[in-house]
Each structure stands twice: as structure tokens, then as C-alpha cells.
Structure 1
Amino acid sequence: MLRVVVLGAAAGGGVPQWNCGCPICQAARTRNPELQSTQASLAVSADGHHWFLINASPDLRQQLIATPQLHPAAGKLRHSPISGVVLTNGEIDAITGLLSMREGSPFTIYAHARVLATLKSNSVFNVLNGDVKRQAVEADQAFEPKLPDGSPSGIEILPFEVTGKGAWYLEGERREGKAAAGDTLGLRICDKATGKVFYFVAACAEVTNDLKSRLKGASLVFFDGTVWRDDELIAAGLSTKTGRSMGHISMSGETGAIAALENLGIERKIFLHINNSNPALLHDSEEREAVMRAGWHIPADGTEITL
């Protein structure tokens, strides 16, 4: 049985963002605390005892405290049920939480060699040396993450390339900040005992035919829901960048996620990595109604799904 916990559903900065006074952040601080959300990450387990994180957000410490499934076992002085962390990119949103896991519990970081090189080049991540192993993964090559004692986890993960963009803080090191192989991965996650599968795509600039073929008929898909419309941040006066220029497809529009994934027979569709500018966050908005009418869901932190 595959168990999935949504640790956070928001994009970088969370909701509310610490320095943002936009209408959604203001509402989250005051009259609508249910809008509050930490930055996107999942936890997945095949046995309910050993868990693997999908990305380690800057809010990880807060998320672990709020998630009983990830608490130390009763009666143990030092313990964590987290056996590993799978990174889908090298963005701040995905890697910063690793620094909160520096207290001596053994686990393995699984990431593309490009992302592991980024961690290695920044000496602050040396605090994870010792009990923390690092294992490179490759697109379209499935692997089974291991438990700390080396035994199999019962979970098979297939990484695959997704159209996206390299981490913004590395743009100065790359010509025009163009994406390279391994910068943005999606994941197909399977329970080996039951055959149950779900997909995780937290960053995506375009729904290609290859991506459609992978997601067709899926039981569950977590998908990039950063912005409602491509020029949303510009229109709100929050940025000069479009969603696509940051490596994120919009929810709406002819080429947006809702339209692109509409006729693929996906049973359950969930948006993740939702920016504080996105009006679909508001429960009484037209955009939220459109999301729900199209069969999509926006989860609260702590939501657990069983496959």
C-alpha cells in the first residue's frame, strides 16, 4: 500500500510569503488562515514506517513537526523514519531543507548528477557528510531507494526529463540560463507489491507529447500549478517575469495544464507548487471554481492519500 503525504503545496516563499502584501498573502495572515501553506514537498512510504521525501523544502523543519507520520519512534532518543530524499531539481525550493536534516540520522540523497554537483560545490552542504549518502540517478532509469540498513524499500522510482529551466541562482554560470539535461525531472513512483503508481511533476514549462503519453490513464498526478496565467506576476506588479520564463506552465489557457491534461483519463489530478499570486488559491474565486470544475484539486498541507 502506497501512502503519500502532502507536506506542503505552495511555491517558493509559501503562503503567506514573508515580505509580500498581495491580497492573498494579506488574507492568509488575517481573515483566511486556511490559505496558509508551506513550500511544496511530499513524503511517500510503502510500509508506513519508512518514508522518502520528494524534495526538501525550506519549510521542512516546520513540516516534520506538523506531520506525525515523520516523528521519531516512541521510546527512541534519536530516530527518524526518513530513509531518503529524492530531488527533482536544484532549486532553493527543493534543496534548502536538507540543511535541517544535519543532526546525524542516516539517509540517502537521490538526485541527478547535475544536482549532486551543485550540492558538492557549495560547502554549506558538507554538514550532511558522514551518515548521509549521495546517489546519482539518471532519466529513464528506474531505481529502488534503500532503507538505512540497505534493505529494499518496496518502491520503484523512474525519473524522466521534463521541459523546464535550470535553477535561477545558477543562471550566471550558464549561457542565457538555458536548461540542461537533469535540471528538471518528473517522477513515476510505484509500489512494487501492489503495482500502484503515481506521478510527481512540480515544475514544467510545457506539456509535451512524451509527457502526455506518460501520464495517460494515471491513477494520481501531482502537477505544477505555479500560476493561473502566464503574465500573472507582471499583472500583479510582483515581478517582471512570466511563468514560462521561470520554467512553469500556467493552469489556464489553451496550452495550460488544465487543457493539456484534460482528455488523458487521469483519475485524480492535484496541483502543487502554487504561487501566492495565483487566484485559484482563493476558495470563492472564479479561478478556483474552474479548477474544481475541471476535476483538479488543491490540497491542504498534511493531506494523506493512499493508493
Structure 2
Amino acid sequence: MTELRFLVLGSAAGGGLPQWNCNCSNCAAARDPSSGLAPQTQSSLAVSVGGKTWAIFNASPDIRQQIQQTPQLHPSALRQSPIKSVVITNADVDHIGGLLTIREKQAFDLISSSAIDAVLDANPVFRVLDPAFVRRHVISLDEMFSPLDGIEARIFAVPGKVALFLEEGEPELGLEGEQTIGVEFVAGGRRAYYIPGCATLPDWLCARIRGADLVFFDGTVFTDDEMIRVGTGVKTGQRMGHMPITGDSRSGSLDVMSKLDIARMVYVHINNTNPIWRDGPERGAVTAAGFEIGHDGMEINLA
């Protein structure tokens, strides 16, 4: 029997929890061992069939720590990592920064869309990934590929925007192209999705994920103006390219996804300001709607 194994390596948004320069209530709690809120690293997912080899989805700047705290990813012999591929879903720093850490002459496949590959190609710092070891693969939208033996996957466009460091003036929001992608996994008759960044849930995307066995979805902010109200920023969730959890019947992922007959729904890429990190009415509303809050070390197996 084929079993898809998912390990949440990092569940937080850019900067992690606690964020280095923030003392909001969540960050303060994450620094306090007695609070019950454990620190969380930046967004990344590991996927396997059988647990011997793994594909990593997004190379977080925290990847060294994530590997260290995940025994399944430890080297089994001298220079023998079980990580066989890395797939990038957008070019934000919190998803590509870790590539600079895994540069030590280790063979793996680096997989992305052409737009994301072009960003890596344009920045000379990523030349530290020795092409004699790191094989780069550009995948077209909706093209089937295998990040590991036994797993079939597709990438597809989701509404988003260009990476922050590529913005020039006001970027196009809700852009549907190769800049922001989701991943569909198919194995053993099961269907799962990883969508850590998404600006909206249009009808076509709802139709695609409807009835899935598992969806990891963008949970960056609870309300669109969350960072403004908390005082940690001046941008809304939408301006950052992230759909808020709550809103009206079309603008909040909680309401929209609750109607799609998805067996398991897990929020990931959760910002340090998001109140769902701790017990309270916001977390209660999310769990009452059938969602789970992702956390570092969370494991889900689909047999």
C-alpha cells in the first residue's frame, strides 16, 4: 500500500515565531518556555513515500535547524542525505534562502517554474549550488513530474504576486502565473495540495481542490488589516499577496474552504501576529470549522 507522508518542517511565515525584532504578544509568549507556545520556524514541508527518501518543498532560511530537529532527514552515512529533491513554490526569501545552506556538494534535484528559476539564475549568489551536484529542472504549469519515486505531482498557478525584493512600485496583486504556484500530489488514489501562499480563492481553484484528502493552505493573517492593527506593519494581507482567514463570504479562506468537502485542512505559513497561534476565539473559530493549525514537527500520513 502506498503511503504519502507529510512532515511540516516549518509552519510560520517569513521571520518565524518569534520574529527576531518583534515583541508582540505571540513573539513574547514564544520566548517564554512556560507559555505553552513553542517557537516555530519558517514555512517548509517534507514529503515521502515510505520514509527513506524525502522531497523538500521550499528551502526555508531555517532549513539547517529543521533538518537537525527532524531525525528522518539526518544523513544515514558519510555525505548521504535522504533529501533527494527541493521544490520551490515562489521566490520569496523565506522560501529560497535555505538553498544557500544546502550547498555543500550534495546531490539533489532543484525543481521550480521557469519564472522562479529565472530569479535564481539572475542572482549570482545561487551559483554556490554546484551544477555538478544540483540538477535544476524547470517544470511547466500542470506538467506531471516526480519529485520522488512513487509520487506524481503537478505545479499550478495560484493568485499571488512577485517576490517582495522584485517589486518596483505597486505590484500587480492576484497575479496568476508562474510567480506563485501550488503543488498537487497524487499517490495511491489519494490527492493532496500544498498552497503556502495564495491571494484569493477563485472558482477554478476551488474546483481544483474540492474533495481533496488533504490541503495545506496559506494561513498568514487572520484578518486582512491584522498587522496594521497590531502595529507591526503598514500592509494588509492582500497587499502582501496573502488571503486572510476571515472576511466576507468570498474574501476569507475559512468560509470558502469549509464548503469544499476537503477531508483535512491545515493552515501553514502563519504570521507571528496571527491570533490562531494561541487559545482564544480566533483559534476556536478555525478548529470549529474543521481546520488544523500547522506546527513544526506535525506529521500526516495518507495511506
Q: State whether TM-score is above 0.5.
A: yes
Q: Which amino acid aligns with 1:128?
A: L
Point out where structure 1 has 5 or more consecutive residues left out of the alignment.
Answer: 147-152
Point out where structure 2 has 5 or more consecutive residues left out of the alignment.
Answer: none
For normalisation by structure 2, the TM-score amounts to 0.94
Q: Which amino acid aligns with 1:57?
A: S
CA contact (8 A) 1:250 1:256 kept: yes
Equivalent of 1:55 in 55, 58, 67: 58
Query: 1 CA distance for matches of 2:99 and 2:36?
Result: 27
User: Does residue 255 of structure 2 align to residue 252 of structure 1?
Assistant: no
Aligned pair count reads 294
> What whole-Å deviation, never above 9, does each CA across 1:15-44 have from its counterpart, x for those lacking one?
000010111100110132533100110000
> What whole-Å deviation, never above 9, does each CA across 1:58-104 have from its counterpart, x for those lacking one?
1100000000110111xx21110000001111110110111111111
CA contact (8 A) 1:170 1:177 kept: no
Query: 1 CA distance for matches of 2:218 and 2:195?
Result: 6
Equivalent runs, 1:124-143 vs 2, <5 Å: 124-129=125-130, 130-143=132-145
Equivalent runs, 1:73-112 vs 2, <5 Å: 73=76, 76-112=77-113
CA apart distance, 1:145: 2.7
Give 3-state SS (helix, strand or coil) of 1:144's partner: strand
CA apart distance, 1:299: 2.3
CA contact (8 A) 2:159 2:176 kept: no
Greater share of helix: 1
Q: Which amino acid aligns with 1:55?
A: N
Query: 1 CA distance for matches of 2:143 and 2:155?
Result: 7
Equivalent runs, 1:101-250 vs 2, <5 Å: 101-129=102-130, 130-145=132-147, 153-172=149-168, 176-178=170-172, 179=175, 181-191=177-187, 194-250=188-244
Give 3-state SS (helix, strand or coil) of 1:94's partner: helix
> What whole-Å deviation, never above 9, does each CA across 1:134-162 have from its counterpart, x for those lacking one?
1001111111235xxxxxx1111111110
Q: Which amino acid aligns with 2:157?
A: E
Query: 2 CA distance for matches of 1:55 and 1:91?
Result: 10
CA apart distance, 1:195: 2.1
Aligned partner of 1:42 in structure 2 is 45
Give 3-state SS (helix, strand or coil) of 1:245's partner: coil
Give 3-state SS (helix, strand or coil) of 2:170's partner: helix
Aligned partner of 1:150 in structure 2 is none
RMSD of equivalent CA atoms: 1.2
CA contact (8 A) 2:37 2:277 kept: no
CA apart distance, 1:187: 0.8
Query: 2 CA distance for matches of 1:302 and 1:197?
Result: 21
Give 3-state SS (helix, strand or coil) of 1:177's partner: coil
Equivalent of 2:271 in 243, 268, 275: 275
CA apart distance, 1:180: 6.1
Query: 2 CA distance for matches of 1:211 and 1:226?
Result: 18
For normalisation by structure 1, the TM-score amounts to 0.93
Aligned partner of 2:11 in structure 1 is 9
User: Does residue 300 of structure 2 align to residue 297 of structure 1?
Assistant: no
> What whole-Å deviation, never above 9, does each CA across 1:154-202 have from its counterpart, x for those lacking one?
1111111101111010012xx63224620100110112xx122210110
Query: 1 CA distance for matches of 2:11 and 2:151?
Result: 23
CA contact (8 A) 2:11 2:270 kept: yes
